[in-house]
Structure 1
Amino acid sequence: MNLIPRFIHHRIAHRPNLIKIVDNPGWLFFDKILRMGVGLLVGVWIARYLGPEQFGLFNCAHALTDLFGAITVTRRKA
């Protein structure tokens, strides 16, 4: 309930279910931002560690893995 701004909490304080409904997307948004931030930091760290040439090879391998993984998942569901 700490993620809801005070002016919104004041208006919906008498409706506990609505507080839960408003609070849940806040946690989901916070989780998404946190994951994106950590992913950015790890990506920058890997890029600096590997250097331009090896990072390019890593990116190519990662892209191919994602591509074929998406095809595999699509074929399995059909």
Structure 2
Amino acid sequence: MKKRTIILFMALSSLSVTSKAQWTVIDPTNLAQSIVNSANEIVQTSTTAQNMWSNFQETVKIYKQGKAYYDGAPV
């Protein structure tokens, strides 16, 4: 039994395989879709920023009108 175990161990250890480098896998469709998604996000972010700026300008305008009204100055 011991002899069989040693023989089995020696046989299995002789079958060890060395590791080798593999090629990098690139998915061009996924890469192109990621670029399109990023471009769409940039457009959406810039649109959101423009809307926020417009809202801020409107808020400043309303604030100045209210301040002028309560200060008694002509509008």
The TM-score with structure 2 as length reference comes to: 0.49
- Answer 1 or 2: which has greater helix percent: 1
